Structure 1
Amino acid sequence: MVEGGATTADRTEFTECWRTVWKTPYIMRLALSAGIGGLLFGYDTGVISGALLYIRDDFEDVDKKTWLQETIVSMAVAGAIIGAAFGGYMNDRWGRRVAILAADIVFFFGAIVMAVAPNPWVIIIGRILVGLGVGMASMTAPLYISEASPARIRGALVSTNGLMITGGQFLSYLINLAFTRAPGTWRWMLGVAGIPAVVQFVLMLSLPESPRWLYRKDRVDEARAILEKIYPAHEVEDELNALKLSVDAEKADEAIIGEGMIAKVKGALKNRVVRRGLYAGITVQVAQQFVGINTVMYYAPTIVQFAGFASNSVALALSLITSGLNAVGSIVSMCFVDRYGRRRLMLVSMTGIIFFLVILSVVFMEASSHAPKIGGVESAHFGSNSTCSAYLTAPDAPRWSCMTCLKADCAFCANAASEVSPSAIHCIITFSVFMLSNWY
């Protein structure tokens, strides 16, 4: 998402990658088939942002209760946490390929449950199922790609998984926009998510297990057969020997520190170098989440509406810029991270994030301070000079929501010439949201 990351590679490695996959298309078939897991991750992140607009229209409880909206959005993340933990166990016990297949099944049924949901609570159940699938696939896909790729182009192929995530987000916004006028709107948006899962399931049925996992389970002949499809004939034995050394070293470490997740973590923390690297990595991942990029991606159309664009379709169209810049940022990082270094790129990125978060905070505070109050007390007190004359004549004013206020044509939340056009300050808000997504 927004959540997760990818191994990076320089331009030389990408050139070598292109040459290798051109000679051996089977390698790209492995990488792209597994990379659909990243696409599922990205699609689930982005699709709910647009679907939520129409879910609110269909269910009054969702429109009025922000905690219900938050539950619908966040349950996928909760499911992903469980899915990632269980996926680790599945990877070790039954293999990477089985874990991806299982994730596809869970994700597909989750998408169907959401598409046919008769009430918000069934949507939440579907979101949990989708989250389980996303959690399993998001940690298994890069693992499978790395273990089924030649070492010299491994970084380049794993990098494509990160691009698939941001590409999936962009695709979800496109599909959301395509279904804005279709009967069922949000049901189609959420249901279409099952298609990539079916495609990946079919493709993975014809692909092999990870050679490293097979060797780890003493299925050496099967591992050799797969390596023969990936490497030139004269490199197979060398790769098999390297695999043997790696697995033997892993088993030796397990004999010392013990098997199981807890034992491995304790062993890693005892190593000073590993411990410092682990702390740095965790800090970066936590900071990445706390900058608020997930909020931007999950609620981009809603934020755009709060910025004054009251139309659902206009908000979705403008949100394409957010997801598009996010995808472009992934490509930029892949191209320049080895030229300028991880640290420099991260410092530049964090500086941009801080700058635009400050702008967002200031303009939202200004909008809140200067916006005319809309409420029973204020309107009754001012009478004909009410800050919102439309509120006085509305038969159902106590039931107004934020979107109703935006459409009230009070000359601040919306432009006097058009109820779905923003005022100047809201253009600044929208610009800041877009730039935040780019700097992330």
Structure 2
Amino acid sequence: MSTGSVEDIYSDLYSTFSQLTCTTADDIEQLPYSIDLKTSLIFVGSTVGGLLFGYDTGVISGVLLNLKPEDLSRPSLTDFNREIITSITSIGSFLGSIIAFPLADRCGRRITLAICCMVFIISGIWMALSRSLLFLVVGRLIVGIAVGVAAQCTPIYLSEISPANVRGFMLTLNSVAITGGQLLSYMFAFVLRDLSQSWRYLFGISAIPAIMFISLLDFIPESPRWLVTRGKFPEAHSALKMIYPGASVHQINLKLRRLIIDLGKLNHYNDIDEPLLQQSRSFLMNLNSSILSQANSIEVPVINNLVQPSNSYSSLPNQRSSLKRKRHVHKMEARTKRALMVGCTLMFFQQVTGFNAFMYYSPIIFSKLNIQDPLLPAILVAITNFLFTFVALRYVERVGKRSMLLYTVVIMIIGLLLCSTGFEKNNLNLLLTSIVIFVAGYASAMGTVPWSCVEFLPLNRRSFGASCISCTNWLTNAIVSLSYLSIIDKIGDSSTMLIFAMFSTFSWIFIYFCYPEVRGLSLEEIGKIFENGIDIYNVYRNYY
């Protein structure tokens, strides 16, 4: 056991804990995870935010197709009016991503999602009752704020409650909810298309899933990791029991012990209140006593030493301690910046490759091609997007996110090049085929993986980093959706597809050189990849 600085103490403590969990085979992060009714309610309920995210972003395509100028007391609706109605949600989502950062850290992930659902209910009713363009735009702005909060908070929550061996699956499940919400919006638009002012019903329907989430709130636990950062250790223990209903008390105690140890380690990189550290040490001592009574293989001296600060710490020169702390702060800041660079850049490429241009405006695109019912090919796009999200769901853990991205971005590029040719030759069959190819490639990885980049970030920077990643998404989304119709009017559809293909090529190059594989790693292990540069092949070198 080290007798040096606090950093040395917690480093040895963490190392000893790793040996302990390996020898006892009680690390529930790595044990097979069974999905039963209780855990299904947790994960399905927590993806309602993703469902609402998808529905409220996809519904605009059906709304624009059925919205009449007289519905909003206007003589006409220009392309610019349509772009404003569409893009204002992305601007609202940008603001929501900023709000979500302090809200999720202060109120918790669970309560933040509940607040978000209340906003979805209010905005859905607001938009359904809109009688003017301004009123509708304000409603779209409000729902955008809720979408931004949900888009940021849901991946954080899922990443923090999911075991390491199913985290990729659970994060991709959120993407399934998003694409499912988009598909539902198209289906409802198709079914209700003959109703007068059907767009009002489309907006009103969005309140239903939000009401469902609030009704399930008692079955959804708070993030144990967040609870630990607030010193709510008994509540964290209860939350872990809800998430791991088949785990023994001994396994739950070991998991909670590890979370508290990681909280102590964060103190070397960021200011954590000393009372919280003292509280964590006290609780950890009691927890170790409980673990000791359940596992005779743990030696008493080791347990006691792990929670007692070294006597020599107080005698260390202050200057040396200060210099060491500065080095650790710099190390953590560098790690966070690298992780943020990867997450934000990948999210930027997710938007500039053009998918949401198809999602928002495909009915308008196909209506200009003189198709009798432009919603039908638009539904084909949504179905493709939904179905191929299951490809990501099935293979993201087996193949790995990095490999999935590298394979599927090539498919996206091929689809966009064929799409450009389809527009140039005005060949409807080629156009539909190429769009399906592009959307299939996009949904299989690029549509899902960027949202999981929150797992790269340390716990005490996760909400802030998720906010940055989400803001990048919505700012880029707003620029694309606000300019797409104007751009195709100036340079044509074919040239616009070539621009999207160019950005897709740049994204492949970035992934190849900068995106690391993290398959099977715990959130705490992922941080090591970014400590000294970006160790892209860390997993392959150490585990495969």
Structure 2 length normalisation: TM-score? 0.61
Aligned with 1:299 (options 346, 356, 361) = 361
Deviation at 1:15, TM superposition (A): 11
Give the aligned partner of residue 307 of structure 2.
Answer: none
> What SS class does the counterpart of residue 47 from structure 2 fall into?
helix
Contact 2:169 2:394 in 1 (8 A): no
For 1:227 and 1:280, the matched residues in 2 are separated by: 30
Conserved? CA contact 2:120–2:210, under 8 Å: yes
Q: Secondary structure at the match of 2:45?
A: helix
Answer yes or no: is 1:174 the counterpart of 2:187: yes
1:71-118 per-residue CA deviation (whole Å, 9 max, x = no partner) reads: 000111111111111111101111112211111111111111110100
- 2:60 maps to 1:48: yes
2:210 paired residue among 197, 202, 217 = 197
Q: Equivalent residue for 1:401? A: none
- Structure 1 residue 339: Cα displacement: 3.9
Structure 2 CA distance for partners of 1:92 and 1:268, relative to 1, 3 Å: farther
> What pairs with 1:50-69 in structure 2 (closer than 5 Å)?
50-56=62-68, 58=71, 61=74, 64-69=77-82
Distance in structure 2 (CA, Å) of the matches to 1:198 and 1:268 = 44
What secondary structure is seen at the aligned counterpart in 2 of 1:226?
A: helix
What count of residue pairs does the alignment treat as equivalent? 355
Find the counterpart in structure 1 of residue 42 from structure 2.
Answer: 30
Specify whether residues 427 and 59 from structure 1 end up closer, same or farther in structure 2 by C-alpha distance, changes over 3 A only.
farther
Contact 1:307 1:427 (8 Å CA) reproduced: no
Q: Matches of 1:80 and 1:169 in 2, distance apart?
A: 16
Aligned match of 1:249: 265
For the residue of structure 2 that corresponds to 1:159, the secondary structure is helix
SS in 1 for 2:142: helix
Q: Which amino acid aligns with 1:28?
A: S
1:85 counterpart = 2:98: yes
Q: 1:322 — aligned with what?
A: 381
The question of 1:132 aligning with 2:145 is answered yes
In the alignment, which residue of structure 1 is the partner of 2:410? 351
Distance 1:62 1:101, change over 3 A: farther
Report the Cα distance in structure 2 between the residues aligned to 1:437 and 1:14, rounded to whole angstroms.
34
Q: Is the 8 A contact 2:42 2:219 kept in 1?
A: no
Secondary structure at 2:389 match in 1: helix
Q: Which stretches in structure 1 are left out of the alignment for 5+ residues?
A: 1-12, 257-262, 368-424
Q: Does the 8 A contact of 1:214 with 1:220 survive in 2?
A: yes
Q: Distance in 2 between matches of 1:177 and 1:15?
A: 45
CA RMSD of aligned residues (A): 2.7
Q: Is the CA contact 1:48–1:73 (under 8 Å) kept in the aligned structure 2?
A: yes
1:117 aligned counterpart, secondary structure: coil
Would you say the 8 A contact 1:149–1:157 is kept in 2?
yes
The secondary structure found in structure 2 opposite 1:253 is: coil
| Aligned pairs (5 A) from 1:208-219 | 208-219=221-232
Q: What are the superposed Cα offsets for residues 243-284 of structure 1, whole Å, 9 maximum, x if unpaired?
A: 10122222332139xxxxxx9xx957853x654444333322
Task: With a CA cutoff of 8 Å and minimum separation of 6, indicate the structure with the bigger relative contact order.
Answer: 2
Q: Which runs of 5+ in 2 are unaligned?
A: 1-28, 273-325, 443-544
How far the C-alpha of 1:41 sits from its partner, in A, is: 0.8
Distance 1:171 1:274, change over 3 A: same
Q: Aligned partners of 1:104, 1:255: CA distance in 2, in Å? A: 33
1:426 deviates by: 3.1
For residues 330-369 of structure 1, what are the structure 2 equivalents within 5 Å? 330-367=389-426
1:237 and 2:253 correspond: yes
Deviations 1:153-188 (A, max 9, x none): 333323211111111111111111121122321110
Cα 1:37–1:351 shift into 2, 3 Å: same
8 Å CA contact 1:300, 1:319 repeated in 2: yes
Mapped to 1, the partners of 2:401 and 2:35 lie a distance apart of 27
